[in-house]
Amino acid sequence: MARHFKNRNHSAKMVALRPFVDFNYDLSKPLKPNQLAKIDRYYEALNAIKARANKVYRGRSKARVRQVQTISRNEFESLPGFKVAFVESTDANPVRVAFDKKGRVKLKARYFDMGFIPFDQFELARDAHAEISRAMAEDEAAKWFRVSTGKYSMLSPFSRRVLPGKLVQLIHKYSPSAADPAILNSGGKTKEHLYEYWLNGLIPMHPTNQAQLDEFLTREMRDRQTRKKARKAERERERVKRKKADRM
């Protein structure tokens, strides 16, 4: 049976979601408003996470899937219908998921292992230096850290010595102006420019040596540029498909 014409703008989204979520809708019947809204919400999250390179983790245990979602910064806390985790993994630094004897998840990679240390946003606003020090102390062996910006991360890692100062600079830059709280120091126009909307933690890195880290950064820069071009082409294909569907 053909898909119902009222679903045409959501059919492609539901098809894209099916491999990754635990719900499904019959597209041959009219969808209810709450179903349409759910498809939009989940598709938006899927589209956002696909902006980075990932491998899909499918575990038999829901608890383990949730662990991997958290350490991989999926931000699916309000989207429990996702039955998989998206693990950031590039050709430059392929990642595999492992669990230790205590059931703690580890991200093992070619150049270095990774983790995720979330910030306490209240403490970060109250005393940035103390919260940054607390987070860094969670992994005392890490000599380098990447700054986690929600689902994504800043390209350049910072050494343990340099990191606190860089983070304080970011916090000041992306805070409201002291002269006028309605104006952002960064010149941004919306609240999403505020650091608490995206500065969510640290990614500890354990490269063997500086040469290894430099080689990784060079490879990853190429990988990101290639992926950016591929994403642009994919968005254009999707735009053309939607335009054709609207004409039907």
- The verdict on residue 79 lying in a domain is no
Is the pLDDT at 4 greater than 90? The verdict is: no
- The verdict on residue 139 lying in a domain is yes
Q: What pLDDT score does 23 carry?
A: 97
Neighbouring CB atoms inside 10 A of 19's CB total: 11
Q: CA-CA distances (angstroms) from residue 132 to 137, 162, 185, 203, 247?
A: 9, 12, 21, 12, 53
- The verdict on residue 247 lying in a domain is no
Q: What pLDDT score does 208 carry?
A: 65
Asked which of 69-73, 159-163, 181-185 is least confident by mean pLDDT, the reply is: 181-185
Mean pLDDT of 88-92: 85
Is the pLDDT at 161 greater than 70? The verdict is: yes
Task: List phi, psi (to 5°) of 228.
Answer: -60, -45
**Averaged pLDDT of the chain:** 88
The position carrying tokens 């304080």 is 168
- The verdict on residue 57 lying in a domain is no
Tally of structural domains, the chain: 1
Is 49 within 8 Å of 88 (Cβ atoms)? no
Q: What pLDDT score does 248 carry?
A: 58
- The verdict on residue 33 lying in a domain is no
- Here the tokens at position 141 are 């062996």
Q: What pLDDT score does 114 carry?
A: 84
Task: In whole angstroms, give the CA distance from residue 162 to residue 148.
Answer: 16
Identify each DSSP E strand in 36-151 by its residue range.
54-57, 85-88, 95-99, 105-109, 117-118, 144-149
Q: Give the domain extent around 160.
A: 115-207
Q: What pLDDT score does 158 carry?
A: 93
Asked which of 17-21, 93-97, 136-140, 226-230 is least confident by mean pLDDT, the reply is: 226-230
User: Over pLDDT 70: what percentage of the chain?
Assistant: 93
Q: What pLDDT score does 5 carry?
A: 53
User: Which pLDDT band holds residue 138 (cuts at 50, 70, 90)?
Assistant: very high
* pTM given for the model: 0.80
User: Which pLDDT band holds residue 226 (cuts at 50, 70, 90)?
Assistant: confident
Q: What pLDDT score does 245 carry?
A: 59
DSSP string computed for 176-231: B-SS-TTSBTT--SSGGGSGGGTEEEEEEE--SSHHHHHHHHHHHHHHHHHHHHHH
More confident of the two residues 19 and 238: 19
Contacts of residue 79, defined as CB under 8 A and 6 or more positions apart, other chains included, come to 41, 42, 45
- The verdict on residue 98 lying in a domain is no
Task: In whole angstroms, give the CA distance from residue 44 to residue 166.
Answer: 31
- The verdict on residue 194 lying in a domain is yes
Mean pLDDT of 89-106: 88
- The verdict on residue 101 lying in a domain is no
For residue range 213-222, list pLDDT tens digits in order: 777 777 777 7
